[in-house]
Amino acid sequence: MKKEAGVYRSWKMKKDVEVNKLLQNDRKRQFEIQKLQRAQEKQQAILKRKSEEAAVANKRLKEALKKQALVRNDRNNNFERYDASANATKLKTLLEQELEVKVRVQEAKYHLKNLVEDRKTLSLELRRLKNSDPPTKKRITTDGDGSPKEVNISIIKLTDEINDRNVQIATLQSEIQEAENDKFKGCVETIRSINDSKVLLNFLIEKIRFLYFSYLNR
């Protein structure tokens, strides 16, 4: 009887060790799953924010181009009707808008670069998923309760995100090209008199002075 009890205790201890090891492995697995989920959620939030910022930049560039065209048309169509003072005011407005367009183009280029990099990241992840196990066995990160989620769902989501980036990239490229291919090539070609040249020079001096003092006071 004692021998049987000893065998049982030895068997139970061995099984307890195995169960504890399994529990530890499961807790470790759950921790890794949650860690990966948090990392993915953070990445998704960053990608979403960058996509939204690119959309805002595109809207700003479109608005700047539209306003630029209106200001130019107004000055060109009514140039003969304005006196020197009015023309100077109109030219300053035009110069401000030309500068605004240049700033918005650089902003759009910055976000365009980010979108291209994000698309590359998403494409690499999509390729990794497609090249993993056969579709019937594919699994991706699990939900909070540990249940597996089909990789095919993730593939569809990634494909949609890449398509969204493609649309944003094409739109930004089109707007940037429109701004850079502007037949007016900036406000310099709108200078029609010595007075206009003086207005342009004073405008540039004021802008440089403003930027200089802004730099000193930062």
Q: Is residue 189 part of a domain?
A: yes
In this prediction, residue 30 carries a pLDDT of 73
Cβ neighbours of residue 110 under 8 Å, at least 6 residues apart?
57
Per-residue H/E/C for 185-198: CCHHHHCCCHHHHH
Q: Is residue 1 part of a domain?
A: no
- Separation of alpha carbons 182 and 173, rounded Å: 14
Total domains in the chain come to: 1
Per-position pLDDT tens, the chain of length 218: 555 666 656 766 776 777 777 777 777 777 776 777 787 788 888 888 999 999 999 999 999 999 988 888 887 777 666 677 777 788 888 888 888 998 999 999 999 999 999 999 999 989 988 887 554 444 444 344 434 456 788 888 899 999 999 999 999 999 999 888 875 555 566 677 777 788 878 888 887 887 767 767 76
Chain CA centroid to CA 212, Å:
30
In this prediction, residue 167 carries a pLDDT of 95
Tokens of 138: 């594919």
Residue range of the domain that includes 63:
55-72+85-133+146-217
- Separation of alpha carbons 187 and 129, rounded Å: 51
Q: Is residue 125 part of a domain?
A: yes
In this prediction, residue 36 carries a pLDDT of 72
Under DSSP, the state recorded for 150 is: E
Q: Is residue 187 part of a domain?
A: yes
CA torsion through residues 146, 148, 151, 154, sign:
negative
Q: Are strands 139-140 and 149-150 parallel, antiparallel or unpaired?
A: antiparallel
In this prediction, residue 143 carries a pLDDT of 42
In this prediction, residue 61 carries a pLDDT of 94
In this prediction, residue 109 carries a pLDDT of 95
Q: Is residue 28 part of a domain?
A: no
Q: Is residue 44 part of a domain?
A: no
Q: Is residue 36 part of a domain?
A: no
Cβ neighbours of residue 139 under 8 Å, at least 6 residues apart?
133, 148, 149, 150, 151
In this prediction, residue 137 carries a pLDDT of 41
- Separation of alpha carbons 43 and 141, rounded Å: 14
Q: Is residue 46 part of a domain?
A: no
